[in-house]
Amino acid sequence: MRQWSSFSTLLILLVSQCFYAARPVDAYSDSSSDNVVVYWGQASAGSQEPLSDYCQSDSVDIVVLSFLMTFYAADGLPEVNFANACSDTFSGTTLLKCDQIAADIQTCQAKGKKVLLSLGGAAGSYGFSSDSEGSSFATTLWDMFGGGTSDYRPFGSAVVDGFDLDIENANSIGYAAFVEQMRNLYSGGDYYISGAPQCPFPDASIGDALDNAWFDFVFIQFYNNYCGVNNPSQFNYDSDWQAWVSSTAVNKNVKLYVGVPGSSSAAGSGYTTPSGLLDIMNSISDKSSLGGVMIWDASQAFTNTIDSSLFIDGIKTMLGQVGSSPSSSSHPAASSVSSSVVATTSSEAAVTFESLSISQVAQNLYVDSAATSSEAMPDLPTSSIAEPTSSSTSTVELPSSSVVEVSTSSLAPSTSSVSDLPSSSDDPVSSSTSEAPLSFTTTVTQSNRYTATEIQYVTVTVYPGDITSTYTSVSTMQPTSASASSSLVASAVESAAGQASVVVDASNPSSSSAETSNTADCSTLTGVELANCENAYFATLSASSTCTDGAIGCVEGFFAKCDGSSWVTFSCPLGTVCTALPNGDTAYAIVTCDTEDDISRIFGTSSSKKIRRRNVSESEELERRSMVRRPHRHHAHHRRSTF
């Protein structure tokens, strides 16, 4: 009897071990703050391993498949792209049929990893024209990749654990409805919705969805931006994103992830080592919203070796140390519109415009056309202000014939004042601004009582009566006690590999100091007519055309800024061209880079040259993913047409 009992016990133990071995290992944890998310599929390092290989690592908790980058291809179906990992298609379509990825998804899930499918990316043709379109598309994706049924299932019987919105084209229409419908379809299952906004807040592309729909995860891209982890003083997890969770987020238990590049070649800026990230993570370790770290991408994180350890493993180890020891330094968060700004410039960091590199200037830009009158500006102290290292002055004519003096300096504090601008003037001093640190700054005073102190930001002011002469760059410091409604937001221009956009105010007068032979009067136009007028003018420009210093426009398809009297051009992201776009029916236009498909939809014309997404080569993928992200625009200027 005793022998039988021992045998029975042994048998039960063996069966139990087999049972538990067959169960998924718990990797991702809802309650943990040390989860690691990796994007996979674009081989940004130049090559990549099969999905299942990365899921063997205990350092990976969530894998995001990237990307579904075309919502409506010529055959009416979506298109996915996973670089060299999949090439078969469904007969008669361009939709990939990925049997190996399907098997790998199930392998990952068996190991307790969550697998999401990401929509969007830095390049692609995607977007909705209405909420109903977004809702309908959610059902389509549920049937093709989720728990529904369809004749076209790229991953066969494999079911993804959710969907991620990496939307980067500044068209926010329909995504809240998409999420709402997807969650209706999720009923009864364990599925997730995530978003991947860029760190400038609010996000131009999915800010509306984040405010109005339920998200489980938010993978914030703290790279390729002024608020990246490489710039701790501007790191805005607490000031913007945690504040959003507390005040606006539909899901108060949403988890925020700090997004970082997997190596120095994975992004234009923002890379830091795992040990270098520890202080940042310690500074937010007390936030219940913290979910962990997101990495772009797997191919980079698994080939980047630091002190004989893979970057991915270093991140996982670092997360285990977060909160266990005090941070060696504190990192103030970036100020919001309504908070004070402190001068941080240094003459030691001064560089000229000609020498700016991708690592020296801001990667993203957003615009805010809030007009500022002088009556809202309080006095600021003028003591202990250093002289600028270099300066120059120019004047612009306002409707009241008042003169504003603009003093430009190279990264050194300065002040300037003006006596003729009426203190009660209702005329806007600045019609648009953009946000991020730059390597050069300017200072402007706005009334006889208001003295602005220079800070490490730039403000772009546009007066497009005469296009080439009407873009004037100035900078301003936000006064400590100024209200949010009357304050300017500090901001920046783009770097060499990226793009920028500015809002053009056609209602403001042109600069009185303009000197150019190429002019175009668009000042009486609005909406599409204004954008067409500007584009017609841009079409006459060439790299050899003269221009007015500070002007911004499009030259031979490139985004261009005038330096002195010569155009300096910046490459647009792959598949896009520079253009002026209407901002609804307002007297504002946006100069930016966009795809020809989007441009055609906005202007209501058919595109003569369709830009279609294809299976690009690894070198092209690396080039594309290394490019600067699309520009961030302020919520107040979103257009209701596709953008």
pLDDT tens string 228-239 = 999 999 999 999
Return the beta strands (E) in 327-475 as ranges: 391-397, 403-409, 441-444, 459-462, 471-474
Quick one: which of 288, 285, 230, 233 has its CA closest to 259?
230
Residues 6+ apart with CB under 8 A from 93: 73, 75, 77, 152
**Residue 8: exposure state from Cβ atoms within 10 A (0-12, 13-18, ≥19):** exposed
- Could you tell me which residues come within 8 angstroms of residue 18 by beta carbon, excluding any fewer than 6 positions away? none
Residue 507: the pLDDT is 40
If phi > 0 it is left, if psi is from -120 to 50 it is alpha, else beta; for residue 188 that is left
Q: Round to the nearest angstrom and report the end-to-end CA distance of the chain.
A: 78
Q: Which amino acid is at 624?
A: R
Is residue 168 part of the annotated active site? The answer reads: yes
pLDDT in the model for residue 590: 78
Contacts 24+ apart (CB under 8 A), 246-249: 248/210, 248/211, 249/210, 249/211, 249/215
- Is the omega angle on the peptide bond into residue 67 within 30 degrees of 0, that is, cis? yes
Please state the φ and ψ torsions of residue 359, each to the nearest 5 degrees. Answer: -85, -10
Torsion angle of the four alpha carbons 200, 65, 274, 229, in this order, in degrees rounded to the nearest 10 = -10
Interaxial angle between packed helices 274-283 and 311-321, expressed in degrees from 0 to 180 and rounded to the nearest 10? 30
Helix axes 527-538, 596-603, angle to 10 degrees: 140
Q: Are 517 and 537 within 8 A, CB to CB? A: no
Beta carbons within 10 angstroms of residue 76's beta carbon:
8
Question: Among candidates 581, 613, 587, 472, which has minimal Cα distance to 522?
Answer: 587
3-state secondary structure of 631: coil
- Please classify residue 604 by burial: count the beta carbons closer than 10 Å to its beta carbon, then call 0-12 exposed, 13-18 middle and 19+ buried: exposed
pLDDT of residue 219: 99
Which residue ranges does the chain devote to CATH 3.20.20.80? Answer: 24-321
Q: Are the beta carbons of 198 and 364 closer than 8 angstroms?
A: yes
Tokens of 159: 């079911």
Full DSSP string of 61-92: -EEEEEEEEESS-TTSS-EE--GGG---B-TT
Residue type, 345: T
Burial of 81 per CB tally in 10 Å (0-12, 13-18, 19+): buried
Q: What is the pLDDT of residue 605?
A: 56
Give the pLDDT of residue 564.
81
Q: Which two tokens stand for residue 180?
A: 């709402």
Specify the pLDDT at position 7.
Answer: 45
Peptide bond into 202 cis (omega under 30): yes
- What distance in Å separates the CA atoms of residue 7 and residue 1, rounded to the nearest whole number? 10
* Residue tagged 């630091």 (tokens): 306
pLDDT value of residue 640: 26
What distance in Å separates the CA atoms of residue 472 and residue 461, rounded to the nearest whole number?
5
CB atoms within 10 A of CB 118: 24
194: closest CA among 288, 284, 116? 116
pLDDT of residue 519: 54
Alpha carbon distance 76, 79 (integer Å): 9
Q: What are phi and psi of 179, to 5 degrees?
A: -65, -45
Q: How high is the pLDDT of residue 593?
A: 77
**Record: fold of 24-321:** TIM Barrel (3.20.20)
Q: For residue 211, what is the DSSP state?
A: H
Give the residue from 190, 192, 158, 162 showing the smallest Cα distance to 68.
162
- Give the active site residue among 49, 79, 133, 168: 168
pLDDT of residue 520: 66
Q: What is d(CA 260, CA 262) in angstroms, rounded to the nearest whole number? A: 6
Copy the structure tokens of residue 299. 């191919």
For residue 487 the two structure tokens come to 């304050």
8 A C-beta contact, residue 584 and residue 534: no
- Average pLDDT, consecutive stretches of 10 residues, N- to C-terminus, the chain (643 residues): 43 42 63 97 96 98 98 96 97 97 98 98 92 98 98 98 96 97 90 97 95 98 95 96 98 98 95 97 97 98 97 98 63 34 31 27 30 34 36 36 35 36 38 34 30 31 33 34 29 32 38 37 86 90 86 84 81 76 74 79 54 38 38 29 25
Of 392, 508, 522, nearest to 444 by C-alpha is 392
